[in-house]
Structure 1
Amino acid sequence: MNIGFDGKRAANNLTGLGNYSRSLIEHVAKQFPTNQYFIYTPKVKENILTLPLFSKANVYLKQPDKGKSKLFWRSSGIKKQLIEDKIDLFHGLSHEIPLGIQHIGIKSIVTMHDLIFLRKPHYYKLIDRLIYKFKSKYACDKSDRIIAISEKTKEDIVELYNINPSKIDVIYQSCDDSFKTLSSTFEKEKIKKKYKLPDKFILNVGTIEARKNLLLVIKALPKINDDFKLVVVGKETTYTALVKREIENLGLQHRVIFLKNVPFNDLPLIYQLASVFVLPSYYEGFGIPIIEALYSNIPVVAATGSCLEEAGGPNSIYVSPDSEIDLANAINKVLTDEKLQDTMKQKGYEYVQKFDNEIVNQQLMDCYLKTMKQ
């Protein structure tokens, strides 16, 4: 089978959807090597081409023909190349598929990560909301099948887009394999020195934006043992200024460390050095950092209200994203109870095995084969 992928993010994005896209293609290509996998993208970041995915014998990177406009290639022009490459199935990895693909005899699947722009519209510009809604609604209506990355996302698709639930498969995400191997004390000490990390710290990973609610952690910090600092790893946005003002107001400059542009290979070791991982987001499609933390053998405290309970399982702790007191109490509970820490680590690690790549890959291939038979 020749399988095509929308590779815009796989070939250009080193975070979030880029990691998801590369991991999915790489692992399914390894587990099912008799298929051919085509990654379609209008442009490529050269440093990404050095990653293992692009050196696999059954993976092909495809770009617009020379002289062809790249402007509307992903949404329309790509269809000619899909036909030429004899693609049997096209997988849109992030909310969209080419316009009219249903008319050229190629089956299609779309992965829907979330509908946050509809659930929490105030986080998005009007023009962005309109574009996202058009592309995602079209993809859900016209694709042969839909993959939702959580039960919560499936519920949103059914409710907000009036899609028959039988058309949707829930296939969870895994995380990069580098998070699944515990590093040596020597390796961790090197990273600790490189980033001047404290002996004890609370970890938060993700883009610093309003939806992810880092401000709540800052407000909770004065109520948490002074021995523990907060380490934040993520890209800054305009919301960061609000967070930093609150840090100054509370006199917490000495307790908060911001790390930017952390190489991906260093991130697993930073997780493994942490005492607890905290993600109080108002809304997530799934919550990959929680999976990374559980594989890293770190207790997790997250927020209620979206799908984080699905990612973290029954032995992580969940609090209201509006209560810094509840968040502080939950973190203190973990930090002061070694028996609880051990239970959360053990049970969390057992739970996260359901997101193992081999399991996820088989579910994905089953979805592909089911789609081809429709």
Structure 2
Amino acid sequence: MRVLFDHQIFEMQRVGGISRYFFELITELSTLGIEWQLPIEYSENQYLRSLSTEIKKFPPEIRDFLPDLKFRGKKYLYKLKEKVNPTPDFKSVNKQKTIKALKEGNFDVFHPTYYDDYFLEYLNGKPFVLTVHDFTHELYPEFFLKDPYMVKKKVLLENAAHIIAISHTTKTDAINFYNVPAEKITVCYHGNSLTGIPKPIDIPTRYLLYVGGRDTYKNFYFFLRAILPIVNQDNTIKILCTGKPFSLAEKKYFTDLGINERLVHIAVNDAELSFLYQNAIAFVYPSLYEGFGIPILEAFQYGCPVIASNTSSLKEIGGDAVAYFSPKDQVSLQITISSLLSDLSFRQQLVAQGYERVKQFSWRDTAITTKNAYTIALRASIS
């Protein structure tokens, strides 16, 4: 079987859950006898660049032109350079490479990596399989600007030969929002990529760990307001965050809340993130909605107790190895954290159950289930 992937998510993400999913999937499919193509020339994606040394970095823009020099006429000189030696439009180059592969037709199944529907006119009767990751935009439209991908997402859900949902929650949402027939959807869980040896770094003695984005539905600011009485009572506890550095607006909010001195930001790689999980009091996941929730598996892997919202897929993935709370009830979160802080046996129970729970998820299983979905799509296209 030959599968063609496209460039989309590898242009959009330098790191991130969706691009990591496709990277791990492609890697595992190779071990199952699946031939794959990924026609892409430009990408800054870290996972993809480890897969191929031939991937070029994004071509320089004006901000990258003579970056250490400031002089009058620099903009004019850049324009002159562009006339003589134009900078390639990396998005156009990548898309054209995929279109070329589509036209050549040397594949059995096409698997787009995001929701742009540009490829539909080039399939020439070949089936495509679509992975849907979540329905956050549909559930919480108030958190987002108008997204052109949402219209295209609907079109792709209607036209896909088969659909992969990353959890039963996501499958249910696809049925409820877009009336997708249940038999057209295969649930295919993610695996855990964070399995290496932790790398020690300088960290606070005691901290609650928060990983990833902090905006809107991630519910980070609710978490801070809820945790305030606990950190005021115990001044040894810090809140350690990864992800993007704190913005000026965030720092002002922290100061206004009176919690600024308790927040620590650390930019980490995978080995350092493992160390953060390994040494945290707990990993707190207050999100209102997740299609899957890979950080739960990461925490399990390194013996970190997990405190998470009792919503969406999080209970599905966490099972009985997580301490849950209501993500709109501050008292609920306070009680859950306090229980973990005061009850050592409860903490040890969560750690033990987490070690067992994470064994149920692997990228190998992801690839096997995905291969089955490709087979279903091929049969559907023939019939």
What's the TM-score, normalizing by structure 1?
Answer: 0.84
Q: In the alignment, is the contact (CA less than 8 A) between 2:304 and 2:351 conserved in 1? A: yes
Q: Deviations over 1:163-217 (max 9, x none)?
A: 11110111011121xx23454xxx43xx1x2xxx111110010112121111122
Give the whole-Å Cα distance in 2 for the aligned partners of 1:54 and 1:5: 15
> Which residue of structure 2 lines up, in the alignment, with residue 114 of structure 1?
134
Hey, what does 2:2 align to over in structure 1? 2
Q: Tell me what 1:28 maps to.
A: 29
Instruction: Give the SS at the match of 2:52.
Output: helix
Residue among 283, 291, 296 paired with 1:285 = 291
C-alpha offsets along residues 268-298 of structure 1, whole Å, 9 cap, x if unaligned?
Answer: 2222121200011112111111121112221
Q: What displacement does 1:318 show?
A: 1.5
| Structure 1 partner of 2:364 | 358
**Counterpart among 211, 215, 218 of residue 217 in structure 2:** 211
> Which of 360, 368, 371 is 2:374 aligned to?
368
| C-alpha spacing 1:332/1:219, structure 2 compared with 1 (3 Å) | same
Instruction: Please name the residue that 2:269 is paired with.
Output: 263
Structure 1 residue 69, shift from structure 2 partner: 7.2
Q: Which stretch has the larger CA shift, 149-158 or 15-24?
A: 15-24
| 1:231-289 Cα shifts (integer Å, max 9, x gaps) | 0111258xx556434421332222111224x2334222222121200011112111111
Distance 1:277 1:297 in 2: 10
8 Å CA contact 1:232–1:256 kept in 2: the answer is yes
CA contact (8 A) 2:49 2:55 kept: no
Q: Within the alignment, does 1:227 sit opposite 2:236 as a pair?
A: yes
What amino acid sits opposite 1:222 in the alignment?
L
Residue matched to 2:195: 180
Q: Per the alignment, in what secondary structure is the counterpart of residue 264 of structure 2?
A: strand
CA distance in 1, matches of 2:275, 2:259: 25
SS of match in other structure, 2:134: coil
Q: Which structure has the greater CA radius of gyration? A: 2
Corresponding residue for 1:251?
258
Post-superposition Cα deviations, 1:307-366, rounded to whole Å, max 9, x if no partner, equal 211221123122111122211211111122111111111112212222122222211112
Which aligned pairs between 1:145-164 and structure 2 lie closer than 5 A?
A: 145-164=162-181
Q: How many residues align?
A: 347
| CA 71–8 in structure 1, closer or farther in 2 if over 3 Å, else same | closer
**Any idea what SS the aligned residue of 1:40 has?**
coil
Q: Any runs of at least 4 consecutive aligned residues in structure 1 with deviations exceeding 4 A, and if so which?
A: 46-50, 60-63, 67-77, 240-243
Aligned equivalents of 1:305, 1:105: Cα separation in 2: 40
Alignment gaps of 5+ in structure 2: 58-86
Paired residue secondary structure (1:354): coil
CA–CA separation in structure 2 for the residues paired with 1:157 and 1:78: 27
Secondary structure in structure 2 of the residue aligned to 1:317:
strand
Asked if the contact 2:7–2:95 (Cα under 8 Å) also holds between the matched residues in 1, the reply is no
- Out of 81, 84, 89, the position equivalent to 2:109 is 89
| Aligned 1:44-83 pairs, distance under 5 A | 44-45=43-44, 50-51=49-50, 53-54=51-52, 78-83=98-103
1:209·1:236 contact (CA, 8 Å) conserved in 2? no
Report 1 or 2 for greater relative contact order, CA contacts < 8 Å, sequence distance ≥ 6: 2
Q: Distance in 1 between matches of 2:311 and 2:48?
A: 38
Equivalents in 2 of 1:335, 1:182: separation in Å? 27
Percent identity of equivalent pairs: 27
In 2, distance between residues paired with 1:6 and 1:14?
Answer: 17
Contact 2:111–2:128 at 8 Å: present in 1 too? Answer: yes
1:291-370 matches, cutoff 5 A:
291-370=297-376
Q: CA deviation at 1:70?
A: 6.1
Residues 73 and 100 of structure 1: is their aligned pair in 2 closer, same or farther, counting only changes over 3 Å? farther
Alignment match of 1:201 (pick from 170, 185, 207): 207
Aligned residues of 2:208 and 2:239 also touching (Cα < 8 A): yes
TM-score, reference length from structure 2: 0.82
RMSD: 2.8
Is the partner of 2:9 in helix, strand or coil? coil
Q: Structure 1 residues 145-154 or 361-370, which shifts more?
A: 361-370
